[in-house]
């Protein structure tokens, strides 16, 4: 009996230390995200600030991020690691052929979610590259036409107020200092529009208009959860609570795994 009581405290302490070590181990990440971003040009300031914000969100919300500045390493096998693909101000041209095929399969097979920002709709013939027709269809059959080079503030008007991407946002909010692309047509007939910009609200006013002007939409024809968010030029956006709420909502919505093959 004396020997038993002599051993018991050691056993209790050992169990306590074991449980403490388990508690200190990091939890399994909720998901893994791949971020393809521009590392040069006039969007680098946005990308730099986005990385700071994303890293903090990943730390706080327990997910991991891998960053890429080119498409060389993107293959179907490579993309299988990730539940979310963020195309952060990265244009849809000059991709490696294997990356193009891998991305199309990723979206068409619903292997993960996708969020595109700003430069992701720079669709057309640029730098000697032909337009990526599949990507144009993915974005609603559009082609880039023009933009506001000297920037303008604009009011974003939410159309689908019940969409989880818009949770916690007012029905209207202002985005400052944006380029506001126009396209050869509105993508509306081919996508589900979540929000539009009011061109009448531009400050200063601009003649670069397209009428019906969606700026946040999802293409429901594809199995992958996807959302395009036009706004994404100024690093100051990450000081805007409405913008960061939109970005955060999009991440967790797009990264959520499909259940029973349904969105």
The larger pLDDT score, comparing residue 257 to residue 143, is at: 143
In a domain, 218, yes or no: yes
pLDDT of residue 238 exceeding 50, the answer is yes
pLDDT of residue 134 exceeding 90, the answer is yes
Question: pLDDT at position 26, please?
Answer: 56
In a domain, 3, yes or no: no
* Mean pLDDT (the chain, rounded): 90
In a domain, 162, yes or no: no
In a domain, 35, yes or no: yes
Burial class (CB in 10 A: 0-12, 13-18, 19+), 187: buried
Domain with residue 244: its CATH number is 3.40.50.880
Which residue segment(s) compose the domain that 56 sits in?
29-146+182-195+208-255
Q: Cβ atoms within 10 A of the Cβ of 67, count? A: 16
C-alpha span between 78 and 220 (Å, rounded): 25
pLDDT in tens, 56-85: 999 999 999 999 999 999 999 999 999 999
Question: pLDDT at position 107, please?
Answer: 98
C-alpha span between 156 and 167 (Å, rounded): 15
C-alpha span between 152 and 201 (Å, rounded): 9
Helix 44-61 / helix 241-255 crossing angle, nearest 10 deg: 60
3-state secondary structure of 145: strand
């Amino acid at each position: 009996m004396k020997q038993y009581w002599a051993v018991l405290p050691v056993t209790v302490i050992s169990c306590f230390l074991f449980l403490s070590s388990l508690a200190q181990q990091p939890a399994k990440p909720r998901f893994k995200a791949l971020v393809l971003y521009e590392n040069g040009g006039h969007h680098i300031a946005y990308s730099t600030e986005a990385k700071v914000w994303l890293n903090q969100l990943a730390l706080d919300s327990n997910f991991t991020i891998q960053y890429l500045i080119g498409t060389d390493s993107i293959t179907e096998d490579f993309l299988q690691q990730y539940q979310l693909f963020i195309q952060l101000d990265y244009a849809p041209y000059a991709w490696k052929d294997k990356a193009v095929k891998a991305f199309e399969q990723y979206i068409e097979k619903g292997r993960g979610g996708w969020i595109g920002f700003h430069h992701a709709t720079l669709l057309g013939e640029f730098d000697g590259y032909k337009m990526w027709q599949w990507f144009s269809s993915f974005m609603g059959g559009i082609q880039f036409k023009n933009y506001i080079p000297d920037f303008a503030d604009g009011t974003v008007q939410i159309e689908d107020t019940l969409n989880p991407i818009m949770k916690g946002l007012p029905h209207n909010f202002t985005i400052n200092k944006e380029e506001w692309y126009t396209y050869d047509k509105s993508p509306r007939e081919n996508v589900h529009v979540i929000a539009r910009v009011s061109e009448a609200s531009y400050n200063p006013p601009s003649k670069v208009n397209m009428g019906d002007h969606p700026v946040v939409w999802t293409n429901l024809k594809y199995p992958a959860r996807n959302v395009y968010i036009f706004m994404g030029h100024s690093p100051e956006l990450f000081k805007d609570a409405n913008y960061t709420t939109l970005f955060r909502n999009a991440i967790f919505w797009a990264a959520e795994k499909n259940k029973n093959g349904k969105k």
